[in-house]
Amino acid sequence: MMSNDTEGTCGDGNENPEFDIPANGVLRAGQTVTPWDDRVRVEGNCVVTKKLHSILVEEDELNKWLTGDHLIQEVLNISADDREFLMTGISPEGWNVMFPVATV
């Protein structure tokens, strides 16, 4: 298990070699990956609201998706909202801004 003071990022060329996230991963620019207990925290600003948003995922599941060997819904045991944030950078709050619930 990694120490909680190790941090890796994707997309900016400053990846931490201890952290098994490929430099050409598909995380959105600006999203960071940080060890968090027995999982990793992916954090970044929502592209709609610009507010900080984070999710927790299993490190091995995230790595399988980032290497391109598997579809996201096959390997990541996370909610649809969390998958959307990983793929598009849009948080649940961002979707509510874009697609407000119509009141009758």
21-59 pLDDT per residue, tens = 434 446 788 888 888 888 999 999 999 999 999 999 999
What are the CB-based long-range contacts (under 8 Å, 24+) for 54-61?
A: 55/82, 55/85, 55/86, 57/82, 57/86, 59/20, 59/35
pLDDT tens-place string over residues 16-30: 334 444 344 467 888
The residue with tokens 């999710």 is: 55
Cα 59 to Cα 68: distance, rounded to the nearest angstrom: 15
Residue 70: pLDDT above 80?
no
- What's the pTM value of the predicted model, to 2 decimals? 0.68
Residue 14: pLDDT above 80?
no
Residue 9: pLDDT above 70?
no
